[in-house]
Amino acid sequence: MSTRIFPTAQDVENAFYESLERNDLALMMAVWAEDEDIVCVHPAGPRLAGQEQVREGWRKIFASGQRLRFQIAQQVRVAGVMLAAHSLHEIITVVGEKQPRPAVIATNVYLRSAAGWRMIVHHASPAPATAAADPAPETPKILH
């Protein structure tokens, strides 16, 4: 398991989307807490829980070889001492396609561990097509 340190929850989030753009499974798994109770829900998918299921889910996604670009919109953040939660829209473009796919709504939860911040929950679901067509204000809003 990687020893990469993320000083803030936002650093984890940046690395999470970087790993998705790079199809980098090692970086993806370095983003997650080393905890059996991590939870990951891909759009329209079942809930994956624990290191093994979460890794296998990402392995399958990365194996497709599809190159994706992520734009993050309408981010709302709430941060505590031990936990942080981010809500956002993922605007995903497949490399080679002109139009972005319909937006994905994501809730990301981060946990501060001895090894810095890590992801502990990723819950993604497709936004209805009308919501995706709605232009998003790009300014992040910070709650606390």
Residue 6 · residue 118 · CB < 8 Å: yes
Shortest Cβ 71–its own copies spacing (Å): 16
Q: In this complex, which beta carbon is closest to its own copies, that of residue 14 or of residue 107?
A: 107
- Angstrom distance (rounded) from CA 30 to CA 39: 15
Shortest Cβ 22–its own copies spacing (Å): 26
Residue 121 · residue 11 · CB < 8 Å: no
Helix spans in the chain (H): 9-22, 25-31, 51-63, 129-133
Going across the sheet that includes 116-126, the strands are 47-49, 39-41, 116-126, 104-113, 83-94, 68-79, 141-142
- Region of 23 (left: φ > 0; alpha: ψ -120 to 50; beta: rest) is left
- CA dihedral (66, 30, 105, 87) positive or negative: negative
Of 24-32, 62-70, 93-101, 126-134, the window that binds its own copies (rule: CB under 8 A) is 126-134
Q: In this complex, which beta carbon is closest to its own copies, that of residue 30 or of residue 48?
A: 48
Q: Which of residues 50-89 bind its own copies (CB under 8 A)?
A: 74, 76, 78-85, 87, 89
Q: Considering the rule CB under 8 A, would residue 45 count as an interface residue with its own copies?
A: yes
Q: Taking CB under 8 A as the rule, which mask of x and - marks residues 94-113 in contact with its own copies?
A: -----------x-x-x-xx-
How many residues bind to its own copies according to rule CB under 8 A?
39
**Contacts with its own copies, residue ranges (CB under 8 A):** 35, 37, 39, 41, 43-47, 49, 74, 76, 78-85, 87, 89, 105, 107, 109, 111-112, 120-121, 123, 125-128, 130-131, 141, 143-144
